[in-house]
Structure 1
Amino acid sequence: MRKESAVMGTAFREQMEQLMNRKSLLAVLVSGLMVTGVQAAGSQANGYLFGNIGQAEADGSSLAKELDGLLAAEADFWGLGFRSSFDDKDTAFKIGAGIQLNRYIGVEFQYTDLGSPEYKGSITDGVDTLTAKVSGDTDGYGMNLVGTLPFERFKLFGKVGYHKLETEASAKITDGFDTVKIKDSEEEWVTSYGVGASFAFTPQVELAAEFERYQDVADDYDVDMASVGLRYNF
């Protein structure tokens, strides 16, 4: 009986060892799969949302000179003087979403409002005054290709973009008696480029500062936009 018990005990220990070996192998396999899954998840594309607000500055000096020329010609005809001003700065903002394809390359889709530069001019004889006011409001949609140089919590990035922007121009001319209003709109595909930096408060929330230039807006002038904003990663 003792011999049989010893044999049974030996057989039981061998079965237990085999079972433990299988469990160890299973644990190794599960651990390996978990590590592989984490690594794969780290290389998958991540999305983010962003919103920026800042100031746009339109390089509309050539347009202002052209309007000055029209008023100057009218003033010279009547022997009068004129004065004018051009406000080339306005509040601007953008909102959008992006996909970070890997640590270095991303794609963004955005809506942008570049504000409205405004020209004012007037001619007066001391009694009657003719005034002219011209403005152009630009906004639209586009996309950017973004290259990122990441550090621990700090990132540097550059971007190039292509956007379909619509400029709604309006003019109002008043001579003290009558008022004439003119409106027109123009859509253009424009290119942009920009640079910026961001700082991560948490893995999800970043503060970003950017400078961008939109070229040949309304096929006439460039617009520079400096902004700050928040980015939410998910």
Structure 2
Amino acid sequence: MKNKFALALLAAASLPMAAQAESSYVGAGIGAAEQVLAITEGTYKDKDVAFKLFTGFNFDKNFGVEAGYTDFGKAETGGKLSGSRARSFYAAGTATLPLGEKFAITAKLGLAKNRTKQLMVGEGDDKKKKTDALLGVGATFAVTKNIAAFVEYENYGTVAKGKNGSLKATILSTGMRFSF
């Protein structure tokens, strides 16, 4: 309940400011997601193609908010018949440190509402939901006044936790951001 309230409060606070068009943006990215499954039998790591869609608002040149969706793809742990599929909806505060007119370093801190589907041989599917902290760092390059390219690393924390183990997910992505 607290998570839903925090996300709703964040969204409501940013709505009146959306009228300042030059501070709003949308974007998309693609990259490599790594899922690490730690269970009693061992630790399994797998990578897959991930994508994300997001929107945000900058209060000024240094601070803003962002919300988005990330799909981590599928991680296989025991062949094609077992593994996990994970995705996340997130809301975060952003901080930007401009390094000249075209480059900037960015940071992100927020909450990620993670959903996973564990695919287990002979046991069926197990769906989990877990909220955890989202941490991200990256860099942007202004291609034009309204278009920026980015590279970003994000850690979504523990996306699933069960009685037999846990699943963590990270993503290294690149993409474009469009201001309007």
Short-chain TM bin: 0.7 to 0.9
- Quick one: distance in 1 between partners of 2:65 and 2:170? 21
What TM-score results when the alignment is normalised by the length of structure 2? 0.79
Which has the larger helix fraction? 1
More RCO (CA 8 Å, sep 6+): 2
From 172, 176, 180, give the equivalent of 1:226.
172
Percent identical residues? 30
Pairing 1:157–2:106 present: yes
After TM superposition, what 4+ stretches of structure 1 lie above 4 angstroms from structure 2?
A: none
Partner of 1:125: none
Q: Structure 1: state its 5+ residue gaps.
A: 1-42, 69-84, 122-131, 173-179
Higher strand share: 2
2:111 aligned partner, one-letter code: Y
Q: CA deviation at 1:67?
A: 3.8
Over aligned residue pairs, what C-alpha RMSD do you find? 2.1
1:190 aligns with 2:160: no
Q: What letter matches 1:233 in structure 2?
A: S
After superposition, residues 15-30 of structure 1 pair within 5 angstroms as: none
Q: Which structure 2 residue ranges, 5 or more long, are not aligned?
A: 1-19
Q: TM-score, normalised by structure 1?
A: 0.62
2:155 matches 1:213: yes
Contact kept in structure 1, 2:36 and 2:44, CA below 8 Å: no
Please name the residue that 2:116 is paired with. Answer: 167
- Find the structure with the greater CA-based Rg: 1
Aligned partner of 1:97 among 55, 59, 81: 55
Distance 1:159 1:96 in 2: 13
In the comparison of the two structures, how many residue pairs are matched? 156
